[in-house]
């Protein structure tokens, strides 16, 4: 058969070489909860017009974020993206270009990545940045693996404020690498408690600011404590716009910064693709994942750009590669760089200040709602609130009133004590009318 070229004998022979008794043994590392016991019940093939009509029907069930009051954050944020960003990334030389292996014909792409790296390094307060990774969660996991290589240690401590999806990504890759992962209990403000897990076996501690609950913290003391025991501090940032207002991770002593760059230049896009930012100290250059673009001169002394360092498994012997990250999010990085260039430093600071002012307005309005308590002590544009009852039920009820009221913590981590906690985010796109609608819907629900 065209799409099933292997016979049962072929499969048995392959399993024998691998050393697996059967297909189930081959996939033993896949959790049972992730397996499908039976074949999916898919509809039979249809004609093109019928398929278009069915897909259109399904699409009408979606509601775009801009169609009404919208307060979702939790790692993916709705911001205004100038029309010029999309116009420029749609140019064919950017949209269709691939890996710039031949610098003589890829100078534009290489320069864009070089400028992107410069922007990320400036933004995070670090010396160097790579040409991007897949997203914030994989960037955090790569930072943990990098820290383990540098320190030659095997213990990793994750703050209780780290986004659960990031923590699970770290757990997956770190476990495969033989590392011990200590996940602290979910907490609104965990920075002081995390110090108790730092010891001489620790490779790194991962802290997020602003964290899952929106708490913005000075992590300098954690960085100092980590250095005392020879460990590194990995700072994770899910809302990169916050760096226009808050102190940079580098200024607070971070050794590696892993961030999600989606907020600048990239829409929500139903969850992806996004762009992972990765920055570090120059002394750790050889242990960094992915690749770096550098500036040089050609034989005639003209400015040019090249791939300076490629530590990926595609470029060197696989057993010597520092990472199995096989590409970078080039188009998303380009969108980030274009938007950042349009903003400039002054524009980014103004955008960040506007985000914070909208969050302050949201917090003030929620103070008028009896039965709703704000948990986040210090925030940028996101806060956690405790509701009278399961937050997931409130979200469903408010959605029926036309308000998309944030993300229940239980959806990210079903942990006791947080079932009634809701994450609410306000950005520059959140209007006074949106906040009024949310407050009115909450009061009506109460």
The answer as to whether 308 is a domain residue is yes
Answer yes or no: do 435 and 336 share one domain.
Answer: no
Please say which residue of 306, 340, 374 terminates a domain: 340
pLDDT at 145 over 80: yes
332 pLDDT band, cuts 50/70/90, is very high
Answer yes or no: do 223 and 180 share one domain.
Answer: yes
Answer yes or no: do 199 and 186 share one domain.
Answer: yes
pLDDT tens digit sequence for 168-211 = 999 999 999 999 999 999 999 987 788 999 999 999 999 999 99
Answer yes or no: do 326 and 403 share one domain.
Answer: no
Answer yes or no: do 336 and 378 share one domain.
Answer: no
Please say which residue of 310, 340, 370 terminates a domain: 340
pLDDT at 1 over 60: no
Answer yes or no: do 225 and 286 share one domain.
Answer: yes
Write down the pLDDT at residue 316: 60
Average pLDDT of span 438-444:
96
Write down the pLDDT at residue 446: 85
Q: What is the reported pTM?
A: 0.90
Answer yes or no: do 177 and 305 share one domain.
Answer: yes
The answer as to whether 434 is a domain residue is yes
Average pLDDT of span 133-153:
97
* Non-local CB neighbours of 298 within 8 Å, separated by 6+ positions: 304
The answer as to whether 376 is a domain residue is yes
Average pLDDT of span 267-274:
92
For the chain, what is the domain count? 2
The answer as to whether 51 is a domain residue is no
327 pLDDT band, cuts 50/70/90, is low
Higher pLDDT, residue 205 or 446? 205
Q: Strand pairing partners for 379?
A: 215
Answer yes or no: do 77 and 88 share one domain.
Answer: no
pLDDT tens digit sequence for 48-101 = 999 999 999 999 999 999 999 999 999 999 999 999 999 999 988 888 777 787
Three-state secondary-structure class, residue 250: helix
Q: 136-145, 317-326, 364-373: lowest mean pLDDT where?
A: 317-326
Average pLDDT of span 34-40:
85
Write down the pLDDT at residue 113: 93
Question: Residue 420 is part of a domain; what is its CATH number?
Answer: 3.90.1150.10
Write down the pLDDT at residue 44: 83
Question: 373-374 and 382-386 as β-strands: parallel, antiparallel, unpaired?
Answer: antiparallel
Q: 24-28, 93-97, 343-347, 393-397: lowest mean pLDDT where?
A: 93-97
The answer as to whether 237 is a domain residue is yes
pLDDT tens digit sequence for 208-219 = 999 999 999 999
Answer yes or no: do 248 and 283 share one domain.
Answer: yes
Domain span holding position 352: 68-81+345-445
Answer yes or no: do 352 and 392 share one domain.
Answer: yes
pLDDT, mean over the chain: 93
The answer as to whether 30 is a domain residue is no
Write down the pLDDT at residue 225: 96
320 pLDDT band, cuts 50/70/90, is confident
Question: Residue 291 is part of a domain; what is its CATH number?
Answer: 3.40.640.10
- Most distant CA pair in the chain, distance: 74
Question: 232-237 and 202-208 as β-strands: parallel, antiparallel, unpaired?
Answer: parallel
Answer yes or no: do 72 and 105 share one domain.
Answer: no
3 pLDDT band, cuts 50/70/90, is low
Please say which residue of 323, 340, 357 terminates a domain: 340
Write down the pLDDT at residue 40: 85
pLDDT tens digit sequence for 413-434 = 999 999 999 999 999 999 999 9
Residues in the chain: 446
CA-closest candidate to residue 261, choices 186, 340, 205, 319: 340
Task: Tokens 């390094």: give the residue.
Answer: 121
Q: How many CB atoms lie within 10 A of CB 67?
A: 10
Percentage of the chain modeled with pLDDT above 70: 97
pLDDT at 236 over 90: yes
> What share of residues in the chain are helix, strand, coil (percent, to 5)?
45, 15, 40
The answer as to whether 15 is a domain residue is no
The answer as to whether 161 is a domain residue is yes
Answer yes or no: do 98 and 237 share one domain.
Answer: yes
């Amino acid at each position: 058969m065209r799409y099933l070229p292997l016979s049962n004998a072929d499969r048995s022979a392959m399993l024998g070489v691998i050393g697996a008794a059967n297909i189930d043994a081959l996939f033993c590392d896949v959790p049972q909860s992730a397996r499908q016991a039976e074949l999916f019940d898919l509809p039979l093939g249809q004609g093109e017009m019928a398929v278009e009509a069915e897909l259109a029907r399904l699409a009408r069930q979606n509601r775009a974020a801009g169609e009404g009051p919208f307060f979702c954050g939790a790692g993916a944020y709705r911001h205004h993206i100038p029309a010029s960003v999309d116009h420029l990334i749609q140019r064919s030389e950017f949209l269709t270009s691939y890996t710039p292996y031949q610098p003589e014909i890829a100078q534009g792409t290489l320069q864009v990545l070089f400028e992107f790296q410069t922007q990320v390094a400036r933004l995070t307060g670090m010396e160097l940045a790579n040409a991007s990774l897949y997203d914030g969660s994989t960037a955090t996991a790569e930072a943990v693996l990098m820290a383990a290589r540098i320190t030659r240690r095997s213990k990793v401590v994750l703050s209780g404020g780290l986004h659960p999806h990031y923590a699970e990504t770290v757990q997956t890759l770190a476990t495969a690498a033989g590392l011990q992962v200590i996940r602290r209990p979910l907490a609104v403000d965990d920075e002081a408690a995390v110090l108790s897990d730092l010891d001489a076996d620790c490779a790194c501690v991962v802290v997020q600011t602003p964290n899952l609950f929106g708490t913005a913290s000075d992590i300098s003391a954690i960085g100092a404590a980590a250095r005392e025991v020879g460990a590194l501090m990995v700072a994770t940032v899910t809302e990169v716009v916050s760096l226009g207002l808050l102190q940079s991770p580098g200024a607070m002593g971070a050794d590696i910064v892993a961030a999600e760059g989606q907020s600048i230049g990239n829409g929500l896009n139903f969850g992806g693709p996004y762009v992972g930012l990765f920055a570090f100290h120059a002394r750790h250059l050889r242990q960094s994942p992915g690749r770096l673009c550098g500036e040089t001169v050609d034989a005639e002394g003209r400015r040019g750009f090249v791939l300076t360092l490629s530590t990926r498994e595609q470029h060197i012997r696989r057993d010597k590669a520092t990472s199995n990250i096989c590409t970078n999010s080039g188009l998303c990085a380009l969108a980030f760089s274009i938007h950042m260039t349009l903003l400039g430093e002054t524009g980014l600071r103004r955008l960040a200040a506007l985000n914070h002012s909208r969050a302050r307005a949201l917090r003030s309005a929620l103070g008028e709602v009896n039965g709703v308590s704000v948990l986040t002590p210090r925030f940028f544009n996101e806060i956690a609130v405790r509701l009278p009852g399961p937050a997931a039920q409130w979200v469903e009820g408010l959605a029926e009133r036309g308000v998309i009221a944030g993300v229940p913590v239980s959806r990210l981590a079903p942990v006791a004590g947080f079932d009634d906690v809701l994450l609410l985010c306000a950005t520059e796109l959140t209007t006074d009318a949106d906040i009024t609608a949310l407050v009115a819907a909450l009061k009506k629900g109460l």
